[in-house]
Amino acid sequence: MIGRIRPFTPLMGSYMPFAAKPMVFGIGSSIAERRNMSTAKADDRSAYDMSSSLQCIIRGMSKVGVAIVFIILIAVLAAGFFWLVNSGGQSGTINPANSSNTTSGTVPTLVLTPPTGTASGTQSASDGTVTFTVPSDFGLATNQTQVLTRSYIPPCDANFNYCLYYIGAAYQGTNFDSAGIRIQHRTDLTTQTACLTAPPTGFSNFTPTSTTVGDYSVSEFTPLGDAGAGHYSTGTLYRLEYNGACYEFETRIGQSQFANYPSGTIQQFTATDQTGLQGKIQNILDSIALPSGETIAFPQ
């Protein structure tokens, strides 16, 4: 039996176009996507490069800004130090109205003049009642901010009208700390007895030696000392009573414990050095005079 042969209908015409279309579409889409991805990556790189450049610029500007601020700060500090050094009250007229002293009352303006017949650089200072010399290796302050030396034990305690403090370089590199004379007008000590016998601040039952010479009287409290944290000081306090006015003069030499330093790191502030510095301080005491020109004979 011969069956009926159905004519063959080629499927290529209908299949191939269908198959080709997805293939063509897929390839074209892939190329386009790759191009888009490449473009996106290029844009990202450009954006990254721009961001990196911007960050570099910002960092550079930040560094420049910091440098400028640092330079300005150094300039301001230098100017402040220059002003402080040159306003230490070493010549002309000094008004102690801003002194931190709370017991001295109103003190006349201090006038500085270069005296004749004295060592070069030495000046004479007077508040209208007492006159004293200021050697070239001593600074003069009317308040604590004018004391330009910094040490654990200060050359003068806080309550002063005038502080003469050592600024020489003879003892640099040693265990020397500071030295000075504190001058205070004691308006709270209104009688001769109170002026001459009241114990120094922080002391009690301190009996002084007193003497009267002509129209003034003086007393001496010695020795005075202080110590703390490896530092110590020695000194003497003198009182002057003249015409109802009471003045206090306190000497001080401070130093640190030489034994606390590693061997060979500093030189020792010797007993000879201390004697020499005491001599400088004594010269200032010996220069203190009354309005008449009479010098004060403090006990020695």
Q: Which two tokens stand for residue 36?
A: 């888009």
Q: In angstroms, what CA-CA distances link 278 with 15, 72, 296? A: 122, 43, 18
Task: Give pLDDT, residue 290.
Answer: 97
pLDDT in tens, 237-268: 999 999 999 999 999 999 999 999 999 999 99
Q: Does residue 189 lie in a domain region?
A: yes
Task: Give pLDDT, residue 111.
Answer: 73
Residues of the chain with pLDDT under 70: 1-70, 72-110, 112-121
**Does residue 182 sit in the same domain as residue 276?**
yes
- Asked whether 177 and 202 are in contact (CB, 8 A), the reply is no
Of 86, 104, 130, the residue at which a domain comes to its end is: 86
Of 59, 86, 113, the residue at which a domain comes to its end is: 86
Task: Give pLDDT, residue 9.
Answer: 40
Q: Does residue 238 lie in a domain region?
A: yes
| Residue 257 dihedral angles phi and psi, to the nearest 5° | -70, 115
The number of folded domains in the chain is: 2
Task: Give pLDDT, residue 267.
Answer: 97
Task: Give pLDDT, residue 203.
Answer: 87
pTM listed for this prediction: 0.65
Task: Give pLDDT, residue 51.
Answer: 53
Task: Give pLDDT, residue 121.
Answer: 66
3 state DSSP class of 258: helix
How many alpha carbons lie under 13 Å from residue 118 in its C-beta half-sphere? 16
Task: Give pLDDT, residue 64.
Answer: 54
Which residues 6+ apart lie within 8 Å of 49 measured at CB?
none
3 state DSSP class of 166: strand
Rounded to whole angstroms, the Cα distance separating 223 from 206 reads 10
Task: Give pLDDT, residue 43.
Answer: 53
Nearest alpha-carbon partner for 85 in 12, 170, 146: 146
Q: Does residue 292 lie in a domain region?
A: no
